[in-house]
Amino acid sequence: MIWSMVRLALLAIRRNVLRSSLTMLGIVIGVAAVIAMVTIGAGATAKVTADLASLGQNLLLVRPGQGTMGPGGARSEAPAFKIEDARAILAEVPNVAAIAPTASKPVQAISGSRNWSTAVTGSTAEFLVVRGWSLASGRAFTASEERAGKAVCLVGATVQRELFGGRDPIGQRMRLGKLSCQVIGMLLSKGESTFGQDQDDFVLVPLRWFQRRVAGTLDVGAVFASARSGASTTKVQNDIEKLMRERRRSPSGEDDFQVRDMKEIATAVTGTTRVMTGLLGAVAAVSLLVGGIGIMNIMLVSVTERTREIGIRLAIGALEREVLAQFLIEAVVLSSVGGVIGIAVGLALAVAGVRTLAVPFVFQPGIVVLAFVFSAAVGVVFGYFPARQAARLDPIEALRHE
């Protein structure tokens, strides 16, 4: 019985292909938009999470000054850290596994006839551990090279590509401004960060060599601290803040430093991304309601066109519930076909979107099923009134209709 009604519904759609296609368009757009937006949003969230995780495990960033930490954020002027501040964090704060004092400066890197504007970062070999960075080739600094401040360096993947091309940089010498250093290692690529910064565009040198030859000061621009596995980063953050207050004693009485837990930043950013995805999905879902109104409109037209047919069916013994079921199934089939097409279009748009935005494709079967069920439910809700109107027609009046 039901299958015969479904077949009749498909035949009715086929008889009016253009009208049925235009009716389904709202459903197709709504389902496609919801699937595309949610899938792209999930991919963006996954990228943000992966990028922030690539900064390092249980990572805390300590910097002088106060202000926004994001790209372009300004910090108030404050005295720079010294190497003793970093050593105090490692020695006096429980559950700090490693620290990496760093300082950076923009520089023109030169190798042969090639040159590239990049940044030179002075730090220790612990920088690789704290930031979770692996070597693609070569080796890291030795303790003796750090103490002596030797002119050795590790290059990021971008610097290697721009200065050395396809050549192996290990053992080669390069210039950083007027200074020369020997490349002893190449860092594994991390790609572009969530904030649009190229993480591979820098040269890593021993901190002591940087301070003596590049900066000309003993200042430390920031300290990366890695908490021990299983330790509360919030507790470590509070302990670092307490220690820095004791050491710096700002004349204003306010903190002239900031300690940021990268895990908190990750949670905030991914939460924002999810909220935006939900809002975009909700806006896209409005198209489904518009599509439902279109289905109701066309079904009312169909009832008017087929009044005589309905009258004949009722006159020869068809029950009201059978007429109701017929028109209701037609509305559900119409919206379900639109839902299937919308799913295909939505997934295609999602694939194109993630490729354009360079984010991973995160297939979510739950949202696909939900979109299809919702599209079928739209057919039930908006098709019921026209179907009920058809079932309640007076057979005599329906037969007189021309």
pLDDT digit string, tens, across residues 203-214:
999 999 999 999
Mapped onto helix, strand or coil, the DSSP state of residue 255 is: coil
**Mean pLDDT lowest among 66-80, 263-277, 294-308:** 66-80
Gap between the Cα atoms of 320 and 148, Å rounded? 95
The answer to whether 93 touches 243, Cβ cutoff 8 Å, is yes
pLDDT at 176: 93
Has residue 178 got a pLDDT over 70? yes
Q: Kindly state the DSSP code that residue 231 receives in the 8-state scheme.
A: S
Among 108, 131, 155, residue whose Cα is nearest residue 53: 131
The CA-to-CA distance between both ends of the chain, in Å, stands at: 29
Q: Kindly state the DSSP code that residue 211 receives in the 8-state scheme.
A: I
Q: Which residue is listed with tokens 């009722």?
A: 314
Backbone phi, then psi, for 81, in 5-degree steps?
-75, 165
Q: Best-predicted range by mean pLDDT among 158-167, 278-287, 291-300?
A: 158-167
Gap between the Cα atoms of 104 and 354, Å rounded? 33
pLDDT at 351: 92
Give 199's contacts (C-beta < 8 A, 6+ positions apart).
Answer: 54, 156, 190, 191, 192, 193
| Helix residue ranges, H only, 131-194 | 143-148, 157-164
Among 241, 223, 221, 222, residue whose Cα is nearest residue 233: 241
Q: What is the mean pLDDT of the chain?
A: 81
Q: Kindly state the DSSP code that residue 28 receives in the 8-state scheme.
A: H
**Tokens for 57?**
């495990």
Q: Please tell me the total number of residues recorded for the chain in this structure.
A: 402
pLDDT at 332: 81
Model pTM greater than 0.75? no
**258: β partners:** 63
Has residue 330 got a pLDDT over 60? yes
Q: 84-104 burial, b for 16+ CB within 10 Å, e for fewer? A: ebbebbeeebebbbbbbbbbb
Q: Best-predicted range by mean pLDDT among 99-103, 257-261, 281-285, 398-402?
A: 99-103
pLDDT band (50, 70, 90) for residue 19: confident
Distance (Å) of CA 98 to CA 55, 223, 236: 14, 10, 12
The predicted model gives 225-239 an average pLDDT of: 86
- For 276-284, the CB contacts below 8 A with 24+ separation are 276/41, 277/37, 277/38, 277/40, 277/41, 277/42, 277/44, 277/45, 278/41, 280/37, 280/41, 281/34, 281/37, 281/38, 281/41, 284/30, 284/33, 284/34, 284/36, 284/37
Mapped onto helix, strand or coil, the DSSP state of residue 122 is: strand
**Tokens for 396?**
């005599």
